[in-house]
Amino acid sequence: MGIFSVALLPQFLLFFLGYFHTIFNEKQNLRTVLELGDRQMSSLMRAAEITLEDVKSHLTNDLDETSINESHVRRLQKIVYEDPRFREIGIVNQDGYLYLTNLGVIEPPVLLSESNRSDPLREEMQIIGPVTTTVMQEQSVIFALPTEDQGEVNLLVNPVILNYWLGLNSLNLGPDGYIAYVLDSDQEIIAGTGLLPRNGVLSSQTPDRSRIQLERRLEASDITIVVDVSKAWVLGKWIDFWKFGIPLSIASSLLIALFGSRFFPPQKSLEGDIPRALFNDEFRLHYQPVVDMETGSCIGCEALIRWQHTDRGLLFPGVFIPVAEETKLIVKLGDWIIQKAIEDLYELLIEHPYLYLSINLSPIQLVSGNDSRRIVNHLKKYHQISKNLIFEITENILIEDNQTNIPKALLDIQDQGAKIALDDFGTGHSGISYLSKLKVDYLKIDRRFITDGELPVHATSLLEGMIDLGRRLQVTLVAEGVETEFQKQGLLKKGVRYGQGYLWAKPMPIEEFHQFLATHSQEVQLPSQDMKLLP
- The strand pair at 152-157 and 139-146 is best described as antiparallel
Residue 243 is predicted with a pLDDT of 62
For residues 499 and 489, give the distance between their C-alpha atoms in angstroms, rounded to a whole number: 11
**Greatest Cα pair distance in the chain:** 96
CA-CA-CA-CA torsion sign (268, 272, 273, 276): negative
Which residues are CB-contacts of 61 (< 8 A; sequence separation ≥ 6)? 148
Nearest to 382 by CA among 416, 359, 420, 419: 416
**Which backbone phi and psi does 344 adopt, to 5 degrees?**
-65, -35
Per-residue pLDDT of the chain (535 residues; tens, 9 = 90+): 444 455 555 566 666 666 777 788 888 888 888 888 888 888 888 888 998 888 888 776 666 666 777 888 888 888 888 888 888 999 988 888 988 888 888 888 989 888 888 888 888 888 887 888 776 677 888 899 998 878 899 999 888 777 666 666 667 788 888 888 888 877 888 887 778 777 777 766 666 788 888 888 888 788 898 888 888 887 776 676 666 556 666 666 666 555 543 443 333 468 888 999 999 999 999 999 999 999 999 999 999 999 999 888 889 988 899 889 888 899 999 999 999 999 999 999 999 999 999 999 988 888 877 778 899 999 999 999 999 999 998 766 655 545 567 888 889 999 999 999 988 776 555 555 566 667 788 999 888 777 655 555 555 677 788 888 888 888 899 999 999 999 899 899 988 999 999 999 999 999 999 999 988 866 545 555 443 333 2
Confidence at residue 432, expressed as pLDDT on a 0 to 100 scale: 58
Distance CA 37, CA 32 (A): 8
Number of residues that make up the chain: 535
Q: Which residues contact 102 (CB under 8 A, 6 or more apart)?
A: 73, 76, 77, 79, 80, 88, 89, 90
344 Cβ contact partners less than 8 Å away, ≥ 6 residues apart: 285, 287, 303, 357, 510
Q: Side-chain half-sphere of 266: how many Cα atoms within 13 Å? A: 2
CATH superfamily, domain 289-520, is: EAL domain (3.20.20.450)
Q: Hey, what CATH topology would domain 1-265 get?
A: Beta-Lactamase (3.30.450)
Q: What Rg, from alpha-carbon coordinates, does the chain have?
A: 28
Among 210, 133, 217, CA closest to 174: 210
- Residue 534: strand, helix, or coil: coil
Residue whose C-alpha is closest to residue 423's, from 270, 514, 288: 288
As a dihedral over the C-alpha atoms of residue 26, residue 28, residue 34, residue 38, rounded to 10 degrees, the angle is: -160
**356-360 vs 97-101, strand pairing mode:** unpaired
Which phi and psi angles does 133 have, rounded to 5°? -65, 150
Helix (H) or strand (E) holding 204, with range, is none
Taking the C-alpha atoms of residue 34 and residue 289, their distance in angstroms, rounded to an integer, is 38
Task: Please give the Cα distance from 174 to 471 (Å, whole number).
Answer: 41
Nearest to 320 by CA among 391, 282, 271, 367: 271
Q: pLDDT at position 385, please?
A: 92
Instruction: Tally DSSP H helices, then E strands, for the chain.
Output: 14, 19
Per-residue model confidence (pLDDT) at position 384: 92
Q: Write down the pLDDT at residue 268.
A: 47
d(CA 274, CA 435): 35
What does pTM read for this prediction? 0.51
Domains of the chain, by residue range, sit at 1-265, 289-520
Facing residues of 139 across strands? Answer: 132
Question: 202 with 187: CB under 8 angstroms?
Answer: yes
Closest CA to 395 of 363, 364, 356: 363
Contacts of 126 (CB under 8 A, 6+ apart): 118, 119, 143, 144, 145, 146
Helices (H), 70-122: 70-82
For residues 312 and 273, the answer to whether their CB atoms sit within 8 Å is no
Q: How far is Cα 220 from Cα 14, in angstroms, rounded to an integer?
A: 43
Whole-angstrom distance, CA of residue 273 vs CA of residue 270: 5
Q: What pLDDT score was predicted for residue 206?
A: 65
For 382, half-sphere exposure in the C-beta direction (CA atoms, 13 angstrom radius) is 20
